[in-house]
């Protein structure tokens, strides 16, 4: 099983490690299944930027970034070179180890989970 390590810019939220993530699922799916807060106004279909995350390590274990994803990342708050959309970060291998930072989501208006 893949390991996904979530940490948060909002230091009031404790880091969380998911050790039973399956390949074929997105970082957003894994977050939802393990009670990790990650906004997603469009429902995870690459139509907004609210599930914006930073991939700190393990990017080789994720599907490559697409042109539509790049377009939406440009609209995210504080995009960086390591920015991705959680809904588009599909885990490719069961032995993946991926480290994700979830940006501070308090400024995002929309769907809370």
Q: Model confidence over 66-103: pLDDT tens digits?
A: 999 999 999 998 999 999 999 999 999 999 999 999 99
Domain extent for 59: 2-102
- Tell me, yes or no, whether 10 lies in a domain: yes
Average per-residue pLDDT for the chain: 92
Q: What is the pTM of this model?
A: 0.91
Beta-carbon contacts of 1 under 8 Å, excluding residues fewer than 6 positions away, are 19, 20, 21, 22, 94
Whether residue 84 is contained in a domain is answered as: yes
- Answer whether residue 87 is part of any domain: yes
Tell me if 108 is assigned to some domain. no
| pLDDT at residue 108, as a whole number | 67
Asked if residue 107 belongs to a domain, the reply is no
Strands 16-21 and 83-85: unpaired
Percent of the chain with pLDDT over 70: 94
| Number of domain units in the chain | 1
Tell me the per-residue pLDDT of 12-70, one tens digit each, with 9 for 90 and over.
999 999 999 999 999 999 999 999 999 998 888 999 999 999 999 999 999 999 999 99
Task: Assign residue 20 the CATH number of its domain.
Answer: 3.10.20.30
């Amino acid at each position: 099983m893949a390991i996904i390590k979530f940490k948060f810019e909002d230091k009031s939220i404790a880091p969380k490690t998911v050790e039973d993530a399956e390949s074929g699922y997105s970082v957003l799916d894994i977050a939802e299944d393990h009670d990790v807060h990650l906004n997603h106004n469009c429902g995870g279909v690459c139509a907004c930027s609210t599930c914006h995350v930073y991939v700190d390590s393990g990017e080789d274990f994720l599907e490559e970034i697409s042109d539509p994803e790049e377009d939406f990342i440009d609209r995210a708050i504080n995009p960086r070179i390591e920015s991705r959309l959680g809904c588009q970060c599909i885990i490719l291998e069961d032995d993946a180890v991926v480290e994700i930072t979830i940006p501070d989501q308090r400024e995002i208006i929309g769907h809370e989970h």
